[in-house]
Structures are given as structure tokens and as C-alpha cells.
Amino acid sequence: MKKKYKLLLNTKFTKKISSLAIYSPAVAEIVDGNVDIILVGDSLGTTLYGMRNTQSVSLSMMKAHGKAVIKNIKKSFTMIDMPYNTYKNKNQALRNAQDLLRYTKAKMIKLEINEKKLEIVKHLSKNNINVVAHLGVTPQDYKDFSKIKIKGKNQNEINILKNLAVNCEISGAKAILLECITEKAAKKITSTVSIPSIGIGASKNCDGQILVFDDLINLKIGKKKPKFVKKFLDFEKLLKNAVKKFSQEVREKKFPSKKYSYH
């Protein structure tokens, strides 16, 4: 039976949920209110710092970027990632989650979850932490992103993912994020749980979608994009043209003109 709405932090979403992962105050001001949820993701490791994976992203990095972004957000919900190795057990997870949320003022925290981490979801939820459970492909488990494979290709994998999603809801998760799973798996999970499902590479069968802002505008220049990335703006082309024009005007002594000089 189709659910009439999804409930997330006491807000009724009657339409699909839109979400973007961003990392800077300037982008925050542009995006705020134009998407439902803004994530400060640990993907900043690969996107901003050129890391091969997200395993070297630290809690201090997430705190710094999280605070810079979230102080400029007034309308959208805010969510932030717990970085790798900062929630190895429930006590460490609670201590670091409280620190991260207190410092950044984010409303929700996202953790990459497997069966062993359900206890952490339950413990955080009991301590009034709004948890979003990240299922399917969990990037923090990979040193080499080229080794990532789609999840939910057979019925056994679908059942495992579905059961994990159900247990996340039972443990108190406010939403689930599904990454790189098949359409069939996404449909089964979304129709089974009553909390929202947000997909990235998980088909339109989810209750919402998330992309990395830099992917959306094609800012990660020269890098191969995953199949699920749609380029909504070719910023690479615009940027190259702007830089070429700047260089040309400097060489031709057109910039700075009197208009851009002090008198």
C-alpha cells in the first residue's frame, strides 16, 4: 500500500525529498531553501582534498566544514557525516556525535551502517540523536573506490538489505540513505519501511534523491563520474571560458580598466 507521506523530524513530505552534499558557506547560501536537506558529507575528502577515499577524513575536518556551512543555512534541514573510525562502539559514537552536533548545530547525523552497528543506531537514538542510516555501498569501507560493486543484484542480497533497513528503523533511525543498489532492491526497501529512503545511485524508487553539489555542476574536472551522476550544469566549460577571457584581457591590457581601478 502506498504511504501518503513520509515523516522526518516532524515534517510531512508530500513530494520527493531533494538533497545535496555541499562543503562551503557560499554554496550554502545558494542551496538553502532550494533543497529539503543539506548534507555536509565526508566526501569532502575526495572532492576538496584530493584524497583517494574518505578514510582519512577527520572529526576536526567535519566540524570545521560543518560549522562554516550550517551557520549559513536557515531553511533546509541539515545533516552531517560521522567520519571513518569515529563510531567504532556505542560510547565513542555518542561522545563524537554529541561533539559534532553541538559544534556544527546540524540537526541530523549520518552513519554508514551494517548489522554490527545497529547497536550504535539504537544507542544514539535513545540519547536523542537524529540518525540517518547509510546502507548499500558504504564508501568508508573502501580504500579503492574502483572496487565498489552494486548491491542488491540477487534476491539474497535484497533480503539482507531489506532486513537491515527494517532493523535500522526499529533501532530508531529517522531515515535511510541507499547508495548504489538496484532498482528492485530500492523499491522493496522503500515499500517496506515507514521512514524516508533517500537514494544516490538507487533509482527513482526511493522517497528522495541526493547528489554531491560538485558533481551536479561538473566541478570535479577531469574525473570520471559514477553512472548515477547527472550533469545539470557544465561549470567546467563555463570556468575554462572565464579563465581564458581573464587571461586574454590581462595580456591585452583591457583589465583592469578605469572602471575597476581606484581614482
> Is the distance from CB of 215 to CB of 232 less than 8 angstroms?
no
Q: Burial of 257 by CB count in 10 Å (0-12 exposed, 13-18 middle, 19+ buried)?
A: exposed
Round to the nearest angstrom and report the end-to-end CA distance of the chain: 71
Beta partners for residue 40, in sequence order: 80
Active-site annotation holds for 169: no
Active-site position among 29, 112, 119, 179: 179
Rg (CA), the chain: 20
Q: Are 235 and 216 in contact (CB under 8 A)?
A: no
Q: Give me the active site residues, please.
A: 179
